Amino acid sequence: MINIHARVKHLIQKYETRNPERLAEELGITIIKRPFKRTMGFFRKELRRKFIVVNSNLNENTQILVIAHELGHALLHSSSAATYIHEYTLFPRGKVEIEANKFAAELLIDEKDIDKHCLENMCVSQLAKYFKVPEELVEFKFKKYIF
């Protein structure tokens, strides 16, 4: 079983950033932004080069979320074929997608930004707004506090 929390913590400490675009750059993963109608983004590995492609039509926060998710695929599942995320399935099911979402949650949400008292007394939607992420990521990150 992959310890996603430890993996992300190590990356943050090593590269001193939580920014998924900067991490991708440090790791030699090329980010390409292109407009798509339905695809939010995907990860592809070709000839030992890794690429994250993200829909340039998305707002900045959503692009960051998609890049973080696809970075999870790049680091946890790089032997897999391309993985697509569509608008209507931002949080698809399946082990690989759940792991990529957990990776994104660990990367994008720094629990040190909020004290434990506030964390325990805020609802999921309030936390999502505070961290500028979807509620599903908050649930992945703070499961021990919310359930």
pTM score: 0.84
Per-residue pLDDT of the chain (147 residues; tens, 9 = 90+): 679 999 999 999 999 999 999 999 999 999 999 999 888 998 888 888 899 999 999 999 999 999 999 999 999 987 765 555 545 455 666 788 888 989 999 999 887 877 776 777 788 888 888 888 888 888 888 775 554
> Position of tokens 């703070």?
142
